[in-house]
Structure 1
């Protein structure tokens, strides 16, 4: 299914989906489109999203100013660093993620600004769009193409080879999840930049001159704002420790939210047919088999995570803002029931987290 023709088009020639019977997807798309037409609303963000974005950015700036310019007591500084890291993750979930999918606003420039907020958080939106929008969203949980399930030192599904150390992954997972953000901004982005590859099995891709300039400008700015200025004002030790604490908090939030949506007991990791190189499901059914919701009844979780607890709806309709997911959720469930398609969901975040831990424990033992 050619959803994102501008990027990674070479993937499409390798693996495709069996879309001979598209009655389910056709019916669901029609119902969702009719919902927006009937209510005369845009499928992008609204004032609630804009207000939340202002709150998240304002609290992050306030946290930074307090930590760097006012030097609070150690116990308060540690707490603020943790909250600051979680705040950065929330900006990623609610602002950057929406902009990256062009669902933040009907205005293109607002989507661009919100998407490039990732660069100010240390990442690179150019890489993220290829790795996330194209590889992950098109080939969710497909080994070798969805790089989000390729976590070093972790065995995330049964088709990945089992190493001796995987037996202990139930004990060290939190360390890897915690350092994931720091590894991303300080190592993995540079690895992609110099190799030109989004993953080990991906082809090299030339990077436009504009993106070269943006990459180096924003990386230098990030390290200046998050490390150099704090070092000059509070010293090496406190600055580095604060950066590490905030980075671990941010990384843990980002990693856990992804794992609860795709790497739990019931989600599938389909392999293409050896002869046809096709996955024997239509694309939408594939998304439903590889993705799970959690805690959709919690308004607090939905607010903080930018609706990513409605991960099923997001994967089916990535260009629709998360503010509409609760309404879309009802349409998706009803259509799945009608066509006898499995809909995966955990009632609470705790249930989903327990399922993820059981999953990686079993994979380490098998």
Structure 2
């Protein structure tokens, strides 16, 4: 699901191309707000594959114009390092890892080498029953780093809610989110508004963006995160579409075939469950999932008995930030 935050990779790398701090902050907001719909296309809540400790997912995306440059060369240039070593410097690469099971913490990292932009984040999900709903508190943060501008944009994440769990479940996002750039002092306050018990719209979002020491926002936006949001520049009064889902086509993730994946990579880990679900064999899927979970419990018991500590595959605690290699430094 975290990889779907980059379903529109051009919106992410475009941050680098904005000429002023204000425009870069607004583009960060545009990418951030448009990143939620791709991983939540269905309005019906579904139980995900619960990631297992040490599970890793790698993928990459092609960007507009990248294929043309590749085709003009007889041999693809590979970065040779980083999260997806076989990517080219013109592709956006991504890696995620389940770095802890108790508590459940996921960490992920993305980079575009030629644009010199990267994103790293960690999220601790805490679930709680709320009567007829389930709430998921997403504790953590992400950081967008623009290496050539010397800027970092810290982002937090909204909470998730599974509503009407006894009838037809549906999902919504709620809570306050902040995006800050300490180097420029710019800040965006975002509110994901939950639907009132009676009346009101679902999935509403409001946003205000401020310059340093300013009380009046220079940019505002409102709408729904799963359909459309509109923005307005305060000084000029100019309005614009922040994003419109119906006109945005999610870019397909590029993932290595299961046969070429390592044992701890996601699609290889869950291949038997996936095959059973595709065959509509829920009993086989449940059995495969239980075998996988039992293996995890057995391995945890061995570590407990021997006193061994878990060593992460890619992303190292306690900082939980992927260490970039020379490809982007």
Sort the TM-score into its range (normalised by shorter chain). Answer: under 0.3
* Higher relative helix content: 1
Q: Scaled by the length of structure 1, what TM-score is found?
A: 0.21
Structure of higher RCO (CA pairs closer than 8 Å, 6+ residues apart): 1
Q: Scaled by the length of structure 2, what TM-score is found?
A: 0.23
* Higher relative strand content: 2
